[in-house]
Amino acid sequence: MVSNIFQHPNWQKTLEETYGYKTKKFLSGSSEISIMEVNRIISKKYVAFPFSDWCFENEEIDINSLPKDKKFQIRGGICDENFVTEKFLVHDISLVETEDEMFMRFEGKTRRNIKKAIKNDLEVNVLTDKDSLKIFMQHNYETRRKHGLPPQPDSFFENFYKNIISEKMGATVIVSQKGTPVSSSILMFWEENVYYKYGASDPNYLNLRPNDFMFWELIKWAKAQGYKNLNLGKTDIDAEGLIRFKRSLGATVKTINYYEYPKSEDSNDEGESMIKRLEPHIQKMPIGFLRFVGNSIYKYFG
């Protein structure tokens, strides 16, 4: 049974086709669970699932029954608390209230930013064509470089379009001013939920407040389409600025756990350590070389 978008076979297919990961079945208690085999540069890890905010909701996972000779990471679910290694916050916006009620849940500054964006002639469109996805990719190169992070491989977005967007399970959101794209994001859909998966912006237009406006227009669009919930994704518990922004939209919050089995005494993650070393170099890279780096090494961060 698929309980969220990250358990959907089309999402798993996107990861497998892009990164070459293989999905394995492991016994958890009396039932089987799917976990992906991720080859790092010097190690191997089994993750449910890489590049996914979480995998399990309220399912109970018998983590102690997994093979002890392999390294596992379980994202979400209910496991033995002794194996918790990371905690994240997940924010949601309920779409069951009226538009006026949801707007009034925004903080005053957010409402003012939205009004400013309207005066700046911004408009928001939810689109499913390939050209819109290419606009996001361009914004994504710039945003990832700014933060010292390699971008996802171009093949990821090609597979995302084929397996998710073309199957009516996703879309691109473009914020523009008089025809010029200034901000964009990637959505995923499953049952009554809209998932805000990726976001990126042209830094030259952030003063127009495109992101506050985008979320307001997205909320109205999702409600009109019959969705009941807008998920804003996971957030590091120490990311105060991002937490503050999501709270300003009237979002509720819950905590999810990541579990590691067997639990390692070494808390340093191989992929995260590599990114930290690369960060100052990535920020100086031309876009062409940045794309090459993302295409070459991103799979090792899963």
* DSSP class per residue in 245-292: HHHHTT-EEEEEEEEEESPPS----HHHHHHHHHHHHHTT--HHHHHH
Q: Which residue has the tokens 């005066």?
A: 119
Q: Tokens standing for 83?
A: 């194996």
**Per-residue pLDDT, 94:** 97
**Per-residue pLDDT, 267:** 57
- Confidence band, pLDDT 50/70/90 cuts, at residue 185: very high
Helices then strands, counting H and E runs in the chain, come out as: 9, 12
**Per-residue pLDDT, 276:** 83
* Mean pLDDT in residue range 263-272: 70
pLDDT at residue 190 tops 80: yes
Q: Tokens standing for 63?
A: 């983590």
**Per-residue pLDDT, 30:** 76
- Contact between 66 and 205 (Cβ < 8 Å): no
* Mean pLDDT in residue range 245-266: 92
Distance of CA 117 to the CA centre of its chain: 25
Residue 141, amino acid = Y
- Per-residue pLDDT tens for 111-147? 999 999 999 999 999 999 999 999 999 999 999 999 9
Dihedrals φ, ψ of 225, to 5°?
A: -80, -5
pLDDT at residue 228 tops 80: yes
Burial of 76 (0-12, 13-18, 19+ CB in 10 A): buried
**CA atoms of 117 and 209, how far apart (whole Å):** 6
Candidates 256, 187, 244, 190; CA nearest to 219 is 187
**CA atoms of 108 and 133, how far apart (whole Å):** 32
Candidates 147, 140, 126; CA nearest to 225 is 126
Residue 38's CB is within 10 A of a number of other CB atoms, namely: 25
The C-alpha torsion from 65 through 261 and 242 to 222, rounded to 10°, is: -30
Q: Tokens standing for 282?
A: 């990535």
**Per-residue pLDDT, 152:** 97
**CA atoms of 261 and 157, how far apart (whole Å):** 31
**pTM recorded for the entire structure:** 0.95
- Per-residue pLDDT tens for 67-107? 999 999 999 999 999 999 999 999 999 999 999 999 999 99
**Per-residue pLDDT, 21:** 96
Candidates 105, 126, 91, 103; CA nearest to 231 is 91
**Per-residue pLDDT, 67:** 94
* Mean pLDDT in residue range 37-66: 92
- Per-residue pLDDT tens for 7-45? 999 999 999 999 999 999 998 887 899 999 999 888 899
- Confidence band, pLDDT 50/70/90 cuts, at residue 268: low
In the chain, which segments carry CATH 3.40.630.30?
90-256
The CATH superfamily of 90-256 is: Gcn5-related N-acetyltransferase (GNAT) (3.40.630.30)
**Per-residue pLDDT, 153:** 97
